[in-house]
Amino acid sequence: MILFDTNILVYVHNKASPNHLKAFQLESKVLNGELAAAVSAQNLLEFYATVTNPAKMVRPLPVEEANKIIKDYLRSPFQIIYPKSGDLEKAFELATRTKAISRKIFDVFLVATMLSNGVGTIYTQNEKDFRIFNEIRVVNPFE
């Protein structure tokens, strides 16, 4: 099982991105049953925060459109993973070990959620944010 990081989701829905086509092709493989993939509840929240934010998007999505996209993910072949009991404690253990500070705690919590849900690989363009975790495999699909 592969987790699609938030940046992949954003590229799928941002046709102006140079990564749009590759991200769209990856998502199509999931939708066609060729690739088993997951997104976390956290990814969907981050996606919403990004695509509706005029400071991050040249053309932010209207709330209704962002909500429709998220509902589509919830009904899609993507497995939606949620934090489990113990993930918060695991996140702080990982944060201590990796010396994660500030907003990096969100990446740490995502990794804890992946681990408790049996997801061992993440597709992301933010490789450096996740390479510090030897518990998961990090793949940049744009290289």
pTM (predicted TM-score): 0.95
Task: Please state at what angle helix 104-116 crosses helix 41-51, rounded to 10 degrees.
Answer: 140
Domains in the chain, CATH or no CATH each: 2-82+119-139 (3.40.50)
Task: Report percent pLDDT > 70 for the chain.
Answer: 100
- Which tokens belong to 5? 């990081």
The secondary element (H helix, E strand) that includes residue 139 is strand 137-139
pLDDT tens digits, 99-118: 999 999 999 999 999 999 99
125 in Cβ contact with 142 (< 8 Å): yes
* pLDDT for 81: 98
* pLDDT for 89: 98
* pLDDT for 31: 98
Sheet holding 137-139, edge to edge: 79-81, 37-40, 2-4, 121-123, 137-139
pLDDT tens digits, 1-30: 999 999 999 999 999 999 999 999 999 999
Longest dimension (CA), the chain: 41
* pLDDT for 34: 98
